[in-house]
């Protein structure tokens, strides 16, 4: 979810590397296809690109980048929680998009005369 989209496709070997290094999951490249089929059965939109840039990626997501930006703006402008809680909520929102777009969610909202 954090590493792929239509512009950032990952091969089965790259997926194995991420699973191993980030999550400690010893994945065998041969089992990636059946694991992806299982995730698809549970509703994860995983697509396969074939051709010169072949690999897998997450298709449709629950939120688009403009929607996440709006949510970040709302969180930052809220007076009901602490700075720490604001940072925590924004970290959680960043996990809903690919890491390349998550950087765009680090925004500053300034409220004048509120």
Specify the higher pLDDT residue, 53 or 107: 53
Mean pLDDT of 48-71: 88
pTM for this model (two decimals)? 0.65
CA distances in angstroms from 94 to 9, 41, 69, 76, 103, listed in the order given: 19, 25, 10, 14, 8
Q: Mapping DSSP to helix (H, G, I), strand (E, B) and coil, where does residue 55 land? A: strand
CA-based torsion, 62, 34, 25, 12: positive or negative: negative
**Cα(74)–Cα(56) distance, integer angstroms:** 33
* pLDDT (tens digit per residue) in 60-100: 888 888 899 999 988 888 888 888 998 899 889 988 888 77
Provide the pLDDT for residue 107. 64
Q: Are 75 and 111 in contact (CB under 8 A)?
A: no
């Amino acid at each position: 979810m954090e590493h792929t989209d239509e512009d950032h496709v990952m091969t089965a070997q790259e997926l194995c590397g991420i699973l191993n290094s980030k999550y400690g999951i010893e994945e065998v490249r041969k089992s990636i296809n059946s694991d992806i089929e299982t995730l698809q059965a549970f509703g994860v939109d995983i697509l396969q690109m074939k051709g010169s840039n072949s690999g897998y990626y997450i298709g449709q997501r629950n939120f688009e980048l403009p929607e996440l930006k709006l949510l970040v703006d709302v969180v930052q402008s809220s007076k009901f929680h602490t700075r720490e809680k604001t940072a925590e909520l924004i970290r959680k929102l960043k996990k809903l998009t690919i890491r390349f777009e998550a950087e765009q969610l680090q925004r500053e909202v300034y409220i004048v005369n509120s």
